[in-house]
Structure 1
């Protein structure tokens, strides 16, 4: 019993040891294939799918600066129509917004008011001149007011006006997420390869309708972002907007002007315009200059276009709205644009996915793919930090056995990962070997335990023939030969009492008197001796006797036997 307990305890210890060793070996194996990212990694926490999707999309985001020159005709209540400015030269203004490449041929999605400014731009510019004119001409039919009140009257339509744009031109600038750092000190110093003029507004919906536009600039093989179904957007969804807010323009250096800002916003509600176009109401940091920028879902697809915000003087905050991507998709469908990813977008998506991967040999794969992009697209200088980091990591990474060779522009983002390295294979074999040894050890321990248990089991004891349960075994005394020379006791004299003779008791049914063999039994002396045992009174009696056949003493009580359960 004790041996069995020890065997089970030893087996449990061996199983526990096997589990611990297996865990340690598995942890070592996993540790060799898991990549940890430090805060200094280009692109940030690229192991996060949402962050990775934004990083891939950022080179496709552009800044659009629209320059306008125009006049404003104001119709006063008196019936007069006056054109402002009265000097003859139009108002000059520049507007800034954001756009997104949606094809590889230079097609850009933006908000319509970014490339076709609404009348409010000229109304804001002319407000001071109109207020001055009213104060100098009492016959206009309107009381003299401040420029702010005049501006409100113009924007609300209480004071009717008509805007005329004499000149309107939009320039598209690639961001530093594509060009890399810029050393130019002014806009005129930016290389001409980094910007281009919009040559066509392909399709647009006015600001008071859907406020979306598709324009074209002469760029080739550009990065792009795909559009997703905006009907899947729900309240509390997290979106990411990329843009160029005016408040972030700390100075006029091109490096700052063309570095995009990334903000996370939350969907508050789904609304519609007066004409029934879907709107996505959001909460978060959305500012002037973000207009036209994309609202990206967690997969990096466009689901909204930043459009406008509402605020009041009595409210510290503001509410922002995005035009739904489905409104833009209707324009794209009407234009029959090919939004299939181009060669650059495929290579960039594949290379960045390998860069952010944790598979064995991914650093070698990423550095080769980044190098191919850097060679094929020399203007894409933003790839430099990624290429440098991948090269540094590849120096300490074991090269895979079969290195995948990057293909040409038809490389798919779903290409297979490189083959497992020799180190991973060796660790796998080691894990299997350790487990096999542990199984063999457990088997040997079990066999030895069984042998010990068998050898420790006691043999069946030899029961003597005269053993009777309840009585201790007794060896009957040997009966020697009869001594014929023994003196016979003298016969007592007449009248003298003889020696005391024990009374002779009649046996109970089934009981025999000592010295009187049962009739017809034919029992031999040796059989009689084997059935006799000494009593405390000193006389020999049969095993089943109840009274002593000599002195009549009651039979002794059998000893108490305690049974021990094994």
Structure 2
């Protein structure tokens, strides 16, 4: 019969066993056949519980998340309203995810993640909406026609596109868009961008033809649902979230492009983030979710653009990826 060993306590400080007297008293008691406790200082290490070895899944999470970044895209500007002589600060930005595919700063993400700063007319329209909203807050009692007249007489003083990659250390770097698919062509919703860095961690690209039903996958990114600016620290904003699931279907878009359906939970902000297999290789990037049901978003139905489609854009970008960076399995 196997005897169960008693569990050791994890003591954070050394302690001393109480003594009932000094050494001379102990010797006297010993002559009478009595036992005396002598002060003994315990070694903390003797009482520490051995740490469990990390699981394969935990090792995978730590080895892959360091290559993931948050992408900020949009525009900002200033508008002047003659009616009150006030200058309004305007902003329209969106967030997405991406990952380093090369150690010198090339990043894979979605085309729709980087779209806004590339389309000045669309971004200016969103700034205008922000402007109207702010003016309305200053003139709540003004009727709609008067408000429209006031806004028409305003001036846009400045316009600046926002194209930044936020690293996990909090550093923000401008990015250059190298190549991009059409954001409305869902199966080709891929973009390659570049920032000026060296020796960053990367993720290998798997062969998506090897993906099979019920393969376990992990999605890494920056979902908006995990951004609680009122409850979490500023540093937490730069920590990526990890969700897992499985490959639940292999499907095609209306344009005939392949997509991989997974059961991993994703939300706004996950777009462009990698989905990796159990070897830590990217099988694709998150692109969109399933339709709403009764106007409610349903989790567990996310769609990934396969890694072999990503390869096409890497080739278009002229990236010289090393063999160890792109798996040929």
Which TM-score band (shorter chain)? Answer: 0.5 to 0.7
- Normalized against structure 2, the TM-score is what? 0.63
**Closer, same or farther: CA 325–91 of 1 in aligned 2, 3 Å:** farther
Which of 229, 238, 256 is the matching residue for 2:216? 238
Partners of 2:127 and 2:294 in 1: CA distance: 21
- Normalized against structure 1, the TM-score is what? 0.38
Displacement, 1:97?
1.2
Q: Secondary structure at the match of 2:290?
A: strand
Alignment correspondent of 2:279: 299
Which of 64, 77, 87 is the matching residue for 1:57? 64
Alignment correspondent of 1:331: 313
Name which of structure 1's ranges 306-315 and 215-224 shifts more when overlaid on structure 2. 306-315
Q: Secondary structure at the match of 1:286?
A: coil
Q: Secondary structure at the match of 1:329?
A: helix
Aligned length: 239
Alignment correspondent of 1:171: 164
Deviation per residue, 1:109-149 (Å, 9 max, x gap): 1111111138699679849969x9xx957xxxxxxxxxxxx
Deviation per residue, 1:170-196 (Å, 9 max, x gap): 211222xxx4xxxxxxxxxx5xxx331
Partners of 1:97 and 1:337 in 2: CA distance: 22
Residues 104 and 341, structure 1, Cα contact 8 Å, conserved in 2? no
Q: Which has the higher helix share?
A: 1
1:98 counterpart = 2:97: yes
Consecutive unaligned residues of structure 1, counting only runs of 5 or more, are 1-35, 40-44, 71-86, 138-165, 180-189, 346-566
Q: How does 1:463-474 map to 2 (within 5 A)?
A: none
Alignment correspondent of 1:262: 242
Alignment correspondent of 2:155: none
Q: How does 1:378-397 map to 2 (within 5 A)?
A: none
Displacement, 1:235?
2.4
Higher RCO (CA 8 Å, separation ≥ 6 residues): 2
Partners of 2:285 and 2:127 in 1: CA distance: 24
**Closer, same or farther: CA 173–37 of 1 in aligned 2, 3 Å:** farther
Partners of 1:302 and 1:335 in 2: CA distance: 18
**Closer, same or farther: CA 303–122 of 1 in aligned 2, 3 Å:** farther
**Closer, same or farther: CA 253–125 of 1 in aligned 2, 3 Å:** farther
Partners of 1:312 and 1:275 in 2: CA distance: 22
Partners of 1:232 and 1:283 in 2: CA distance: 18
Residues 92 and 127, structure 2, Cα contact 8 Å, conserved in 1? no
1:271 counterpart = 2:231: no
1:208 counterpart = 2:205: no
Partners of 2:198 and 2:276 in 1: CA distance: 24
Q: Which has the higher strand share?
A: 2
Alignment correspondent of 1:68: 75
1:322 counterpart = 2:304: yes
1:248 counterpart = 2:261: no
Partners of 1:195 and 1:123 in 2: CA distance: 23
Q: How does 1:129-528 map to 2 (within 5 A)?
A: 167-175=160-168, 179=169, 190=170, 194-198=171-175, 200-209=176-185, 210-251=188-229, 253-312=233-292, 314=294, 316=296, 317-318=298-299, 319-340=301-322
> Rg bigger for which structure?
1
Q: Secondary structure at the match of 2:236?
A: helix
